[in-house]
């Protein structure tokens, strides 16, 4: 049986099934729950250009943008093309390489590790189910609050139906060897639950909309930010940095308009 640890999350995304899917530009790729239930991952869309629903979120970005769990980087590339200073972070080498090949700036690091520009980002993105990262939405929201500048904006995407679920999953690409993959914690959060988590920590709702059946929320950072314990995601803690943000990785990313 696989060992279940929080640190297995980043390690799991850094493995072959995800890298293979990104290099093919398509699935099948699923998150598999212990009871066999499968959540299909939309690798094709992630590897395509930003679509209209993505752009509905990107239009609302303010200042410098950090895309948390940027995957192959379509959002970072689209933001850069629109003149934003944007950085993607992800725990997967394949995702970071893909983002850089699209011309985006990217850093291989977990959101729970120290990051450049802590407390100064204008906007943070948690798109494509990334509110599930770490399997604890409340802890993730607190971590994001610590990354944002006072008054900063979180743009996040909720699950398309009402759900509030914290589960152990593993990546499965249908090759029959999913049993060998590590379990890791993941969460799925619908709009109501997301509002509840946000309100409980003092986030203000700045917008809510739906595009292409994808529900989005824009949340303003709470005035007081609680500290989060940072987990040591040791298997992936080595940073791989795009050459486009060299000076800023000392932590000096000012919040400026696009």
Ligand X SMILES: C[S@@+](CC[C@H](N)C(=O)[O-])C[C@H]1O[C@@H](n2cnc3c(N)ncnc32)[C@H](O)[C@@H]1O
Tokens of 213: 């059946």
Q: H helices then E strands: how many in the chain?
A: 8, 11
* Residues in region 156-195 near ligand X by CB under 6 A: none
Query: CA of 36: how far to CAs of 2, 162, 169, 185, in Å?
Result: 15, 21, 9, 15
**Binding-site member from 92, 156, 242, 248 for ligand X (CB under 6 A):** 92
Question: Is the C-alpha dihedral spanning 114, 118, 119, 121 positive or negative?
Answer: negative
Q: Minimal distance in Å, beta carbon 176 to ligand X?
A: 22
Diameter of the chain by CA atoms?
50
Of the candidate residues 29, 95, 225, 255, the single one contacting ligand X (CB under 6 A): 95
Site map for ligand X, 120-159, x if CB under 6 A?
-------xxxx--xx-------------------------
Query: For residues 198-257, which are near ligand X according to CB under 6 A?
Result: none
The least CB distance from residue 218 to ligand X, in Å, is 17
Which residues are CB-neighbours of 87 under 8 A, at least 6 positions away? 64, 65, 66, 67, 76, 105, 106, 107, 116, 117, 245, 248, 253
147-175 b/e with 16+ CB inside 10 Å = b? bbbeebbbbbbbbeeeeeeebbbbbbbee
CB of 178 to ligand X, least distance (A): 17
- Residue in 7, 8, 10, 32 binding ligand X, rule: CB under 6 A: 10
Shortest Å distance, C-beta 74 to ligand X: 6
Place of tokens 């987990």: 231
**Shortest gap between Cβ of 126 and ligand X (angstroms)?**
8
Instruction: Kindly tell me which residue out of 17, 21, 30, 74 binds ligand X, with binding defined by CB under 6 A.
Output: 74
Least distance (Å) from ligand X to the CB of residue 84? 16
Question: 17, 63, 72, 104: which one contacts ligand X (CB under 6 A)?
Answer: 72
Q: Is 62 in the site for ligand X (CB under 6 A)?
A: no
Rg (CA), the chain: 17
89 membership: H or E segment, kind and range: strand 86-90
Q: Which is nearer to ligand X, 10 or 122 (by Cβ)?
A: 10
Report the interface residues with ligand X, using CB under 6 A: 9-10, 13, 46, 68-72, 74, 89-92, 95, 110-112, 127-130, 133-134
């Amino acid at each position: 049986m696989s060992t279940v640890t929080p640190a297995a999350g980043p390690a799991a995304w850094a493995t072959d099934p995800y890298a293979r899917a990104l290099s093919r530009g398509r699935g099948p790729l699923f998150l598999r729950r212990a009871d066999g239930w499968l959540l299909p991952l939309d690798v094709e869309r992630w590897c395509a250009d930003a679509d209209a629903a993505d752009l509905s979120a990107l239009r609302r970005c303010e200042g410098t943008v950090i895309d948390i769990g940027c995957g192959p980087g379509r959002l970072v590339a689209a933001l850069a093309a629109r003149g934003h200073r944007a950085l993607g972070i992800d725990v997967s080498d394949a995702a970071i390489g893909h983002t850089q090949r699209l011309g985006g700036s990217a850093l291989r690091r977990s959101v729970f590790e120290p990051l450049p520009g802590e407390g100064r980002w204008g906007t943070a993105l948690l798109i494509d189910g990334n509110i599930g990262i770490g399997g604890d939405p409340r802890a993730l929201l607190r971590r994001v609050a610590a990354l944002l500048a006072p008054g900063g904006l979180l743009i996040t995407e909720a699950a398309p139906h009402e759900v509030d679920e914290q589960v152990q999953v593993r990546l499965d690409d249908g090759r029959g060897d999913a049993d060998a993959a590590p379990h890791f914690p993941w969460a799925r959060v619908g709009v109501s639950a997301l509002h509840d988590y946000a309100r409980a920590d003092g986030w203000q709702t700045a917008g809510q909309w739906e595009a292409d059946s994808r529900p989005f929320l824009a949340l303003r950072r709470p005035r007081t930010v609680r500290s989060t314990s940072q987990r040591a995601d040791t298997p992936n803690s080595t940073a791989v940095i795009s050459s486009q943000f060299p000076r800023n990785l000392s932590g000096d990313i000012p919040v400026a308009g696009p």
